[in-house]
A = this chain, B = another copy of it.
């Protein structure tokens, strides 16, 4: 029987995969809307999915990056891009932002909690550590929009997005300060960021 830690790791990996896929799909949508070619769609998906975490790791001077350590996900990304382009050409299925906003909210929570956790573990003070969580969760989307030549949605859409990550990051900081067990603190932080975002939708 698996113990609690194993279950937590398994859930964490599953949610992270879902979140990466949701972020990648937001890149797919943006790339199609801008009539990019296959390469362009792959690049924008890659920036949306891995851009935030990679920027966080560059700022924290962490290596290897997630996508260097788990290259399988890059194949998933390339496969998704090719399959999506094929599907869109042969069917009239339209998938919209509404379809990905729930996994996107999960991704927001998860990246916030893991970004803040990694930054605190690297000795970063509270506020910059929270910002590392926010950067992990939001800069993928910001890079996606910059490359698509748009003012980033996260910076002008008045519905809370980065603010949910900001609150979630502080939840993690206070969980650590009050010596809440790590897994619980992680779940509280990710849950509050995701919950606030879901409430705003």
Contact = CB atoms under 8 A, between A and B. Distances in A.
Copies in the complex: 3
Question: Main secondary structure on chain A at its contact with chain B?
Answer: helix
Given A147-B142, A149-B149, A154 B40 contact: yes
Contacts of A142: 43, 147
B68 A151 contact: no
A127 B74 contact: yes
Interface residues of A, number: 44
Interface stretch (A8-16, A29-37, A107-115): A29-37
A163 interface: yes
Nearest to A38: B163
Contacts of A63: 61
A43 B166 CA distance: 13
B67 A128 contact: yes
Contact of A43 (B75, B127, B128, B155): B155
A59 interface: yes
